[in-house]
């Protein structure tokens, strides 16, 4: 990335060229690489970082720490959320963490708590968990016959599991929540 534009605020004569170098951070005894960005003036040669570059570097460091902590990176959280086809606001309603939580996680402005990380991974591994959390948040808005039919193979699949009673009560709750009528009327 080589962006030559802004005048140098230090000497006032030159212009800044952005550069990036591989830096390392050692955290909890583990060393991880990250990209450090800064600008160099073509006249006074002073290396400097403006507010935007400092923010980028802070995010890179937090991302590296997440990797060392074994947490999902911002990019991974964004991919997961997009795969669920929900907005950042919806994700915060479903998983908690505050209204801007997912924007902060995805931009690597903050590390998500270990408990949040585990909940997201659990919801990825078990779609029923995600469906239940979404339902509890009031975001589930299935309507019409297309969605009812879409549940049919799922009911069969769950029936074939080893704990049919438990699974069926889960399915029944979903149906009653979605359609506000007895399960029988859906058949």
Write down the least CB distance from residue 57 to Zn ion, Å.
Answer: 20
Query: Would you tell me how many other CB atoms lie within 10 Å of the CB of residue 12?
Result: 10
- Binding Zn ion by CB under 5 A: which of 3, 11, 122, 177? 11
Please choose, out of 3-11, 57-65, 85-93, 113-121, the segment that lies near Zn ion by the rule CB under 5 A.
Answer: 3-11
Please choose, out of 9-17, 70-78, 93-101, 175-183, the segment that lies near Zn ion by the rule CB under 5 A.
Answer: 9-17
Q: Are 120 and 72 in contact (CB under 8 A)?
A: yes
Q: Are 41 and 15 in contact (CB under 8 A)?
A: yes
- Does 10 bind Zn ion (CB under 5 A)? Our answer is yes
End-to-end CA distance of the chain: 59
Give the residue with the Cβ less far from Zn ion, 9 or 182: 9
* H/E segment holding residue 16: strand 15-27
Give the residue with the Cβ less far from Zn ion, 50 or 89: 50
Query: Per-residue x/- marks for Zn ion, 14-33, CB under 5 A?
Result: x-------------------
Give the residue with the Cβ less far from Zn ion, 11 or 113: 11
Q: Quote the tokens at residue 83.
A: 């795969």
Number of residues that bind Zn ion (CB under 5 A): 7
Write down the least CB distance from residue 114 to Zn ion, Å.
Answer: 44
Q: Are 3 and 20 in contact (CB under 8 A)?
A: no
- Binding Zn ion by CB under 5 A: which of 8, 37, 80, 101? 8
Q: Which residues contact 36 (CB under 8 A, 6 or more apart)?
A: 20, 21, 22, 23, 57, 60
Distance (Å, whole) CA 56 – CA 184: 56
DSSP letter at 184 equals G
Query: Per-residue x/- marks for Zn ion, 41-80, CB under 5 A?
Result: x-xx------------------------------------
Residues near Zn ion (CB under 5 A): 8, 10-11, 14, 41, 43-44
């Amino acid at each position: 990335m080589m962006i030559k534009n802004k005048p140098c605020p230090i000497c006032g004569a030159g212009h800044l060229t952005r550069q990036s170098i591989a830096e390392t951070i050692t955290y909890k005894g583990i060393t991880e690489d990250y990209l450090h960005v800064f600008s160099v003036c073509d006249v006074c040669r002073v290396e400097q970082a403006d507010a935007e570059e400092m923010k980028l570097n802070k995010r890179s460091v937090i991302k590296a720490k997440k990797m060392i902590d074994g947490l999902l990176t911002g990019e991974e959280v964004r991919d997961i959320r997009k795969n669920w086809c929900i907005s950042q606001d919806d994700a915060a309603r479903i998983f908690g963490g505050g209204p801007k939580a997912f924007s902060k996680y995805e931009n690597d402005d903050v590390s998500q708590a270990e408990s949040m990380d585990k909940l997201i991974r659990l919801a990825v591994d078990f779609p029923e968990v995600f469906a239940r959390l979404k339902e509890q948040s009031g975001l589930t808005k299935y309507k019409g016959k297309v969605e009812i039919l879409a549940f049919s193979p799922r009911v069969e699949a769950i029936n074939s599991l080893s704990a049919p009673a438990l699974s069926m009560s889960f399915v029944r709750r979903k149906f009653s929540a979605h359609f506000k009528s007895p399960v029988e009327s859906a058949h």
